[in-house]
């Protein structure tokens, strides 16, 4: 057990150079952008003198040498200072923190949706291999893998919002229904304050975006659960459990599924990248006021500090989730070393 802790610590430390690399890559990226921020800020205002430009550059620290700028930038990052959004002059960190709860709520619900659907499907498909259920659900998950999220979302809106009128087309909650802010996640806040109308409204707004984003993940996870279940069901300990006279249901769930979930954890961790990327698309389709939509809007308004900071938030989240997945994996599977 002690060795495991040392290994986990090593793995955590190995993430630091990656995070630093991400920050430096983003900094270099920023310098590659056509036009520097001052040109963009001044671009629209007329009658600006060279002195003004120079003063602004000094103020923003752009007159310093690149290594100095890099040092300041990294120091700012450590303090959580990500600079200012160009059109609104608001601190980037504030803009990101405002949008983050919406994105987290959407991503978590999508993940939950995917797991609730995919794990039972994978188990049943494996237990009844080559049955009608198996073939249908594997065909469906194959379709899910090939289907782009943006199209699925559009279909969902046309069918469920516009024609059946069951669900709202966009937004996160109906105006006036917002629960008191505790965590920033509307569903959790509504539950905590016992505000049932708000919970119901938030869930109705969540349903389509979460299903759209979760469908692709569910498709991948169902296939992995199925194939690892198939492998595990052939293992000796399953045979032994059956020979002992354990009920088949208990064999499936307690002996097989628990072990089959180990490889699933890794795949789910990798799917977080899909969730993060997909939420830009899904948020933009459903007008979800999260980080993804902030980034897409920021690209169009050429708000580079915001784009860079958000890309970095995404990349670091991805790195941290992958790290957490690896650590969790060693706990689930003590034979595995990092």
Partner 1 sequence: MRALRDSPICLEGIEAIDEGRRAAPGREVRRPYDFQEAYEVRAARTRGSWGTGPLGLAVRNFLSFARQMAGNPAAVIGGVVILLYVAVAIFAPWVAPCAPDQVALSERLAPPSWIGEFPLGTDQLGRDILSRIIYGARVSILVGVLTIAISVTVGVGLGVVAGYFRGSFDRIVSRFTDLLLAFPYLIFVIGAMAVLGPGFWNLIWALSFKGWVEFYRLARAEVMSEKTREYVEAARALGRSHAAIICSEILPNVVHSILVLGTLRMGNMIVLESSLSFLGLGIPPRIPAWGSMVNDGRRYMLTAWWVATLPGLALVGLVLAINLVGEALRDVLDPRLKEG
User: Where do contacts with partner 1 occur on this chain (CB under 8 A)?
Assistant: 18-19, 21-22, 25, 29, 32-34, 142-143, 145-151, 154-155, 157-158, 162, 223-224, 226-228, 230-231, 234, 263, 267, 272-274, 276-278, 280-281, 284-285, 295-296, 299-300, 304, 307-308, 311, 314-316, 318-319
Q: Rounded to 5 degrees, what are φ and ψ at 44? A: -85, -30
Indicate the residue among 34 and 176 with the shorter CB distance to partner 1: 34
Indicate the residue among 191 and 299 with the shorter CB distance to partner 1: 299
Indicate the residue among 202 and 218 with the shorter CB distance to partner 1: 218
Q: How far is the CB of 98 from partner 1 (least distance, A)?
A: 19
Look up residue 113 and give its two tokens: 């949706």
Q: Which residues contact 38 (CB under 8 A, 6 or more apart)?
A: 53, 56, 57, 60, 62
Q: Find, among 334, 327, 305, 236, the residue nearest to 83 by Cα.
A: 305
Q: How far is the CB of 332 from partner 1 (least distance, A)?
A: 15
Q: Find, among 128, 119, 153, 150, the residue nearest to 258 by Cα.
A: 119
Indicate the residue among 108 and 191 with the shorter CB distance to partner 1: 108
Q: How far is the CB of 247 from partner 1 (least distance, A)?
A: 25
Q: How far is the CB of 19 from partner 1 (least distance, A)?
A: 8
Indicate the residue among 46 and 300 with the shorter CB distance to partner 1: 300
Q: How far is the CB of 198 from partner 1 (least distance, A)?
A: 28
Give the separation between CA 307 and CA 30, rounded to whole angstroms.
9
Look up residue 229 and give its two tokens: 């279940």
Give the separation between CA 169 and CA 192, rounded to whole angstroms.
26
**Residue bearing tokens 């860079």:** 308
Give the separation between CA 72 and CA 326, rounded to whole angstroms.
33
Q: Find, among 327, 333, 321, the residue nearest to 18 by Cα.
A: 321
DSSP 8-state symbol, 1: -
Indicate the residue among 187 and 308 with the shorter CB distance to partner 1: 308
Q: How far is the CB of 271 from partner 1 (least distance, A)?
A: 10
Indicate the residue among 25 and 55 with the shorter CB distance to partner 1: 25
Q: How far is the CB of 147 from partner 1 (least distance, A)?
A: 6
Q: What residues are paired with 91 via a beta bridge?
A: 84
Helix (H, G, I), strand (E, B) or coil at 274: helix
Give the separation between CA 144 and CA 220, rounded to whole angstroms.
8
Give the separation between CA 143 and CA 149, rounded to whole angstroms.
12
DSSP 167-220: S-SS-SS-TT-PPPPSSS-HHHHHHHHT-HHHHHHHHHHHHHHHHHHHHHHHHH
Q: How far is the CB of 41 from partner 1 (least distance, A)?
A: 17
Indicate the residue among 33 and 68 with the shorter CB distance to partner 1: 33
Indicate the residue among 51 and 236 with the shorter CB distance to partner 1: 236
Give the separation between CA 144 and CA 138, rounded to whole angstroms.
10
Q: How far is the CB of 35 from partner 1 (least distance, A)?
A: 11
Give the distance from CA 67 to its chain's centroid: 33
Look up residue 121 and give its two tokens: 């499907």
């Amino acid at each position: 057990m002690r060795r495991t802790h040392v290994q986990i610590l090593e793995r955590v430390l190995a993430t630091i150079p990656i995070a630093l690399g991400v920050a430096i890559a983003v900094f270099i990226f920023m310098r590659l952008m056509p036009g520097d921020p001052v040109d963009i800020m001044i671009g629209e205002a007329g009658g600006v003198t060279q002195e003004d430009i120079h003063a602004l550059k000094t103020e923003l620290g752009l007159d310093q040498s690149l290594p100095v700028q890099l040092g300041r930038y990294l120091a700012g990052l450590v303090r959580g200072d990500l600079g200012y959004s160009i059109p609104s002059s608001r601190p980037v960190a504030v803009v990101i923190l405002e949008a983050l709860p919406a994105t987290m709520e959407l991503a978590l619900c999508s993940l939950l949706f995917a797991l609730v659907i995919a794990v039972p499907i994978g188990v049943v498909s494996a237990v009844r291999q080559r049955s009608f259920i198996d073939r249908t659900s594997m065909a469906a998950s194959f379709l899910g893998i090939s289907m782009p999220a943006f199209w699925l979302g559009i279909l969902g809106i046309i069918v469920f919002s516009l024609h059946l009128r069951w669900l709202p087309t966009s937004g996160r909650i109906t105006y006036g229904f917002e629960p008191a802010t505790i965590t920033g996640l509307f569903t959790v806040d509504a539950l905590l304050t016992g505000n049932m109308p708000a919970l119901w409204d938030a869930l109705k707004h969540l349903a389509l975006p979460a299903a759209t984003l979760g469908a692709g993940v569910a498709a991948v996870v169902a296939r992995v659960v199925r194939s690892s279940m198939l492998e595990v069901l052939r293992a000796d300990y399953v045979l032994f459990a059956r020979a002992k006279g354990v009920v088949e249901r208990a064999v499936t769930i307690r002996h097989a599924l628990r072990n089959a979930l180990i490889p699933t954890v890794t795949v789910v961790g990798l799917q977080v990248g899909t969730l993060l990327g997909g939420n830009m698309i899904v948020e933009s389709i459903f007008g979800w006021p999260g980080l993804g939509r902030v980034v897409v809007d920021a690209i169009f308004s050429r708000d580079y500090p915001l784009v860079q900071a958000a890309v970095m938030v995404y990349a670091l989240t991805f790195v941290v989730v992958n790290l957490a997945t690896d650590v969790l994996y060693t706990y689930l599977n003590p034979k595995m070393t990092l």
